[in-house]
Chain A
Amino acid sequence: MKPITACAVASVFALNAADALSATAYVSNEKSNTISVVDLDRMEVTATIPVGQRPRGITLSLDKRYLYICASDEDHIEVLDLESMEVIRTLPSGPDPELFILSPDGTRLYVANEDDNMVSVLNLEAQAIETEIPVGVEPEGMGVSPDGKWLVNTSETTNMAHFIDTETLELSDSVLVDSRPRFAEFTPDGSQVWVSAEIGGTVSVIDTESRQIVQKIGFEIQGVRKEAIQPVGVRITADGSKAYVALGPANRVAVIDTETYEVEDYLLVGQRVWQLAFSPDNRLLVSTNGSSNDISVIDVQEGKVLKSITVGELPWGVAIR
């Protein structure tokens, strides 16, 4: 630990004055049916909230006051009030919701129903499903363009990224990607969608306009068998310069230069890393490590893993405010 000089102390206080609250990470624990609340300043779990059966995808509301949780085995979405730390209501989601994404204007949740090959569109005001869109087999990944116009859903067994027009709620194009796509993430400027293929071992970069795959990124890690490199979660920094990919049982997060598509680094985290989330200021990146029951906190600037924190059993999703 670096010696704290008077200068450093002063700047730390100044920083704290600017950030009123430290970042808090919420982690869904698929097996223990809980949400772990983690203070990212103190680097510790401050609360564990019991929720419904098999919580997986989670996402914050636009105003960050609520956490939406997919309770997959209960076939509904739970709404956790982050003040009271209580589940205040449930929302319909269609069967077996795995993952969802909030529309940029905060009015809709687009939900992937893994069991019946549908995407459900949940209107948050009406608290009702507007429509269901048939997609490929086992939908999971959900990405939405920054302008809200395009929704991309990936189907794990059909191996496609489906582009859905959010105005007409109709499927417009389906792009064939590598085996078992899990995640779709738009670049901040909306020009590309990055889609991970878990079994294929690649990330396909799709040009939003032309729907063509412009780059396929592969991974190679010394001492790690190719089959163990299984990309799942993808996150791109707010300035669009770097992409981070969780590589599953390879136990690493890849750091990619979005300009050159080169993998710059592999960061060793916990076991079976699947999902990632940035802190609001992009200074920290948190990964969920399912098999080691912990999360890893990464300093984005330094490119270093700061700490791993034990949460519940089989941590799946993470959302940070």
Chain B
Amino acid sequence: MPARTRQAVMLAASLISTAAIGCSLAFSRPAVAAETAQLAVRIAYIREDIDEPLPLSLVEVVAEDKGIAGARLAIDDNNTTGRFLGHGYELTELTLPAAGDFAPLLERMAADGTALIVADLTAERLIELADRPEAADSLIFNIRAEDDELRVTECRANVFHLIPSRAMKADALAQYLSFKRWSRWVLIYGARDGDRAFADALRRSAERFGATIVEERLYEFTAGSRRTDTGQQQVQRQMIELTQRLPEHDVLMVSDENEVFGEYLPYRTWDPRPVVGTQGLVPTAWHRSQEQWGGTQLQRRFEGAAGRWMLERDYAGWAAIRSVGEAVTRTGSADAAAIKDYILSEAFQLGGFKGVGLTFRPWNQQLRQPVLLASPLMLVSVSPQEGFLNPRTPLDTLGFDEPESECRLNQ
């Protein structure tokens, strides 16, 4: 039975009951049919109808369903498990109009009894949602905003982060460059907020991991169409001008989150140096080339369902709903408070196809995870790199460790 039909049937038949399955989760008697879910787990996916920069490369897929496709897959995965326990998962997809009000969405969720939210929102909107009184007892899973403030000064007790922060990504890249001894960086960054924020993260990482930024340059041209009939000559000349007369360096670090110029840099720079950062060698939570640790299985399931490669935000959306799934499976409860307690407990581990069990940092509720370093076609490395130590776990060498964050959500 196709996934959607199965979900619809379960929706029709499910009881709005939060009765916990008995404490002995050691076994369930004869398999429960999917259509008669005794425990309904309702999750909302909220995104805002805003524009995103299109990839500069014409070869890259433009995905309209970035993030939500991963969430849908996790619902299917959870339901395959839920079948054996009488649990049914359903996803309600809600789109907020640009700069729209959260109130109607939250009203609708309250009516349904939905307290679990996957948030595909910018940092500002995420905080706004988290601070709404109606959302005080909800669990909000951030799958998009990489802002470090959300992990350092603006933490919220009802927010969990699945997507790695900018600091985690910058650290992952810096560790690899340290291993390679490519320690002289030139940093070229774009003029918009995201570009500057990632540049800040890179500066912090350079200091942490012993790299020197020998020169910085700002790229101020505005973004144009990604598709034109001619124009290669112009770009060629522009990139030369942008990168000439630089001091001796090992890599060209680019911070161009807005897809304005970064992808133009490889092979056009004045000096022959690898391009790394937001283009070239990129730190990311997920990449199509990642097939280690059983990753093939996730890639195949996703492609089968979505008809395209799994992107980073899809992975984050998948991880959010799988975390809920693990909690519900092991506690027998769909209650937001019970889920929160469980995912913050020692018992919780998410099998995220990255070789180690993934857990949440109790001080800022960020999912600890290895960060992949990928070139467009290949997985190059995975951080944390060997040799970087941490008293708790090497995963905490990426991003803001407890003493470095002002957040103390665990106290």
A residues lining the B interface (CB < 8 Å): 114-115, 117, 136-138, 155-160, 162, 171-176, 179-180, 199-201, 211-213, 225, 227
Number of residue pairs A-B, CB distance < 8 angstroms: 76
B299 CB, min distance to chain A CBs, angstroms? 11
For residue A173, which residues in chain B have a CB less than 8 angstroms away from its CB? 27-30
Bound-state CA distance A216–B356 (Å) is: 20
Interface majority SS (helix, strand, loop, mixed), chain A: loop
Question: Could you tell me if B393 and A179 are in contact, using CB atoms closer than 8 angstroms?
Answer: no
* B349 is an interface residue with CB less than 8 A from chain A: yes
CB within 8 Å for A115 and B297 given contacts A174-B31, A212-B27: yes
Chain B residue nearest to A198 (CB atoms) is B351
Question: Could you tell me if A200 and B31 are in contact, using CB atoms closer than 8 angstroms?
Answer: no
For residue B394, which residues in chain A have a CB less than 8 angstroms away from its CB? 225
Question: Could you tell me if A156 and B84 are in contact, using CB atoms closer than 8 angstroms?
Answer: no
Bound-state CA distance A114–B298 (Å) is: 11
For residue A156, which residues in chain B have a CB less than 8 angstroms away from its CB? 294, 297, 351
* B196 is an interface residue with CB less than 8 A from chain A: no
A172 CB, min distance to chain B CBs, angstroms? 6
Which of B329, B330, B357 neighbours the largest number of chain A CB atoms within 10 Å of its CB? B357
CB within 8 Å for A157 and B26 given contacts A176-B330, A199-B357, A200-B349: no
Bound-state CA distance A58–B321 (Å) is: 35
* B77 is an interface residue with CB less than 8 A from chain A: yes
Chain B residue nearest to A173 (CB atoms) is B27
Q: A136-B84, A157-B297, A212-B27 are in contact. List 10 more A-B contacts (CB 8 A).
A: A115-B297, A137-B77, A156-B294, A158-B81, A172-B30, A175-B26, A212-B24, A213-B26, A227-B357, A227-B393
For residue A138, which residues in chain B have a CB less than 8 angstroms away from its CB? 294, 297
Question: Could you tell me if A171 and B80 are in contact, using CB atoms closer than 8 angstroms?
Answer: no
CB within 8 Å for A136 and B80 given contacts A176-B330, A200-B349: yes
Chain B residue nearest to A114 (CB atoms) is B297
Which of B25, B77, B300, B330 meets A157, CB within 8 Å? Answer: B77
B303 CB, min distance to chain A CBs, angstroms? 11
Bound-state CA distance A162–B81 (Å) is: 11
For residue B80, which residues in chain A have a CB less than 8 angstroms away from its CB? 117, 136-137, 158
Bound-state CA distance A36–B28 (Å) is: 42
For residue A136, which residues in chain B have a CB less than 8 angstroms away from its CB? 80-81, 84
Mask, B386-411, CB within 8 Å of A = 1, is 00000001100000000000000000
Chain B residue nearest to A214 (CB atoms) is B26
The 15 sampled A-B contact pairs (Cβ below 8 Å) are A115-B301, A137-B80, A137-B81, A158-B77, A171-B30, A171-B31, A176-B25, A176-B329, A179-B349, A179-B350, A200-B349, A201-B357, A212-B26, A225-B394, A227-B357
Which of B24, B29, B77, B84 meets A160, CB within 8 Å? Answer: B84
Chain B residue nearest to A178 (CB atoms) is B349
CB within 8 Å for A180 and B297 given contacts A137-B77, A137-B80: no
Chain B residue nearest to A160 (CB atoms) is B84
Chain B residue nearest to A163 (CB atoms) is B27
B141 CB, min distance to chain A CBs, angstroms? 18
Bound-state CA distance A162–B83 (Å) is: 12
Question: Could you tell me if B393 and A174 are in contact, using CB atoms closer than 8 angstroms?
Answer: no
Chain B residue nearest to A249 (CB atoms) is B355
For residue A171, which residues in chain B have a CB less than 8 angstroms away from its CB? 30-31
Question: Could you tell me if A174 and B27 are in contact, using CB atoms closer than 8 angstroms?
Answer: yes
Question: Could you tell me if B300 and A115 are in contact, using CB atoms closer than 8 angstroms?
Answer: yes
CB within 8 Å for A159 and B81 given contacts A174-B27, A174-B31, A180-B351: yes
Which of B28, B77, B322, B356 meets A227, CB within 8 Å? Answer: B356
